[in-house]
Structure 1
Amino acid sequence: MSSGHNTLFFRLAGPMQSWGTSSRLQLRRTDAYPSKSGVLGMVLCAMGVKRENSDTALEPLNRLLMGVRVDRSGTLDWDYHTAGAKIGIRRADGKIKETASTHEYETLLSRRQYLYDASFLVALHGDADTITACARDMENPTWPLFLGRKCCIPAEPVFARTGSFDTLTDAFSSVLWQPRVNAIDRDDNRGTRTLDIYIEHPPGSKIPKDARLVYDVPRKFGFFSYEPRWVAKNQVTVAVGETIQRLQPDARRGDPYSKHFKEVARPSRLKLDSYLCVFCKSPAEEVHHVSYENNEHETDSDLRSLCEMCHDACTMLEYGRDMRAHRVDPSDPAQRRMILHQIERLLKERRHGQRRKLLRAARKEL
């Protein structure tokens, strides 16, 4: 990290976020992107600054310009929230509401809005010394960092990196957009992505026509005391980078019909078992994996020949137990009773199913 860098990047991504600039009483809304008060609150957490001392620490931070790039907008939803702590709800006459039966304070009720599965790239831009100090603390935070509320845990490290740029737009243009998984976040093969950005307008210059006045510049935490700033929405086109997550092949969904399996492993195991089910000695119709450790490179020890009924029983046992690489082994004497019990259940269900099918056919004839 260079001491001359004037821009600090944060990655705010997680299952839940909430950035309320207009939350009041029992109705707690969230904005569509992070607020400056929420971001600076995280910086003070990283610095270990208490609320009562926040006014002094906020002075240099408030002079930094903030921008947000919406990499994944997420979805909005509500949570019906209850809380106790013997605080109580005041009535119109100023008294505390009590329950009729126990005369205890009534529970506090509220509706709280959250952003689900969103991801934002946030940048603070300004004095290089202030940026350097913030980056140092964000890399090794004193207190835990949250995405607006304590129940909103970051999915990845908040500190991203620093850099030197003329404007926030230039800063956002320099960072690649990375899909989590192509199948989820990317529905095309384009090499660029156009994203919404929200840029804080510098004080003292002409205000953009479509700018929005937001009261989220904190004077001191612990008190509802905020100053306004102008925020303008724009767009930026960035290059697409590599996926963040690489899906590991699920053993249950590994390709059992690979060329090796079909042409080599399956015929070899059937021949070894004389084309008979290893469990009941009926003619074998399936080849069952007892291990996926050598998926697509199976040997005879990874497979067992089974009839259709025994294969269905073993498969249902595996799904019910959420097995991974190692599966049910029908040649293991210790597992025989379990497999027999599952076969009995299958036969019973199939008899009932056949009975229902006959009854439906009879009704149609009537």
Structure 2
Amino acid sequence: MGWRGCRQGRGAMTKRHLIIRLEAPLVSFGGVAIDNYGFTRDFPARSMVAGLLGNALGLERTDADKLQRLQDRLVIAARRDREGYIGVLRDNQNAKLEGNDKGWTTRGSVEGRGGGADTHKSPHRRFRDYHPDTLVILALRLEPAEETPTLDDLVAALESPKRPLFIGRKPCLPSEPLIMREKGPIFVHAATAGAALTLVPTLGDLKEARAQWPYNEGPVGERAVNICDERNWRSGLHGGTRRIVESRIHLPAREAS
């Protein structure tokens, strides 16, 4: 039998949060790209989560207004339940692509290459960072809650996605379903997203974990910084800043079955 929702305290002005597990051999959470270096954050970018949910819902890149609205409604807190065994892994990618090379898009359409003859003389070289063997728990809600898509719509989409899901980059396929009914609650009721994280039991012996939440969605914590992790879905560019808190939180033990 699956878990039921957890609730924070009697009489608390609680809000409903969806719990998502991001677990994979490799994950990439988005970050500022510098030249041919693609860095990764320690916690999922708001734009990355919006893209993941949009992919599950079947939204296209051309659905810029819907993706923008989804991102704007997201309130997200995240914690790292497994850090990985070697830190950040950097992949050195090299490819020599010719003008007549073609590839397949995720929708099955053939994609060709453009440019003049000189465009294809040099190989493409880039570096991409990943977190190996990582498990991150997300507690998220949508504001306003009654607007479509709702949290229940997201559950249905994540359990039966319109397209294959990946965590940040296409090689980062989840090793477990993102909604794990047998391993924890699907919904948690708490006053803030940060508080919601403290109600989700860990699967192992972890007593505390690093976590991140929006500045007004939990205690002040150990570190408050401004980050740029929101995308303008019409232009495709990231910009602006929002204030977040990073700290360590204590975790409840899992109930005996």
* TM-score, normalising length: structure 1: 0.53
2:179 to 156, 159, 162: 159
- Matched letter for residue 238 of structure 2: S
Q: CA offset at residue 13 of structure 1?
A: 0.8
Q: Which residue of 2 aligns with 1:137?
A: 157
**Residues 97 and 110 of structure 1: CA distance in aligned 2, closer, same or farther (over 3 Å):** farther
Q: Deviations over 1:231-282 (max 9, x none)?
A: 1012221123379xxxxxxxxxxxxxxxxxxxxxxxxxxxxxxxxxxxxxxx
Matches within 5 A, 1:25-174: 25-74=35-84, 75-86=87-98, 105-127=121-143, 128-129=145-146, 130-160=150-180, 161-174=186-199
Q: Which residue of 2 aligns with 1:211?
A: 224
Secondary structure of 2:158's partner? Answer: helix
Secondary structure of 1:216's partner? Answer: coil
* TM-score, normalising length: structure 2: 0.74
Q: Deviations over 1:327-348 (max 9, x none)?
A: xxxxxxxxxxxxxxxxxxxxxx
Gaps of 5+ in 2: 6-13, 100-114, 181-185
**Residues 133 and 21 of structure 1: CA distance in aligned 2, closer, same or farther (over 3 Å):** same
- Contact 1:17 1:116 (8 Å CA) reproduced: yes
For the residues of structure 2 that align with 1:146 and 1:122, how far apart are their CA atoms? 15
**Residues 28 and 97 of structure 1: CA distance in aligned 2, closer, same or farther (over 3 Å):** farther
Q: Which has the higher helix share?
A: 1
**Residues 69 and 53 of structure 1: CA distance in aligned 2, closer, same or farther (over 3 Å):** same
Secondary structure of 1:56's partner? Answer: helix
Secondary structure of 1:50's partner? Answer: coil
Q: CA offset at residue 141 of structure 1?
A: 0.9
**Length, aligned pairs only:** 219
Q: Structure 1 vs Structure 2: percent identity of aligned residues? A: 23
- Contact 1:51 1:222 (8 Å CA) reproduced: no
**Residues 226 and 8 of structure 1: CA distance in aligned 2, closer, same or farther (over 3 Å):** farther
Secondary structure of 1:239's partner? Answer: coil
List structure 1 segments (4+ residues) > 3 angstroms apart after TM superposition.
84-87, 95-98, 207-210
Gaps of 5+ in 1: 88-94, 180-185, 187-191, 244-366
Instruction: Tell me which of the two structures has the higher relative contact order, counting C-alpha pairs closer than 8 angstroms and 6 or more residues apart.
Output: 2
Q: CA offset at residue 198 of structure 1?
A: 0.1
Q: Which has the higher strand share?
A: 2
**Residues 226 and 152 of structure 1: CA distance in aligned 2, closer, same or farther (over 3 Å):** same
For the residues of structure 2 that align with 1:70 and 1:104, how far apart are their CA atoms? 41
Q: Which residue of 2 aligns with 1:198?
A: 212
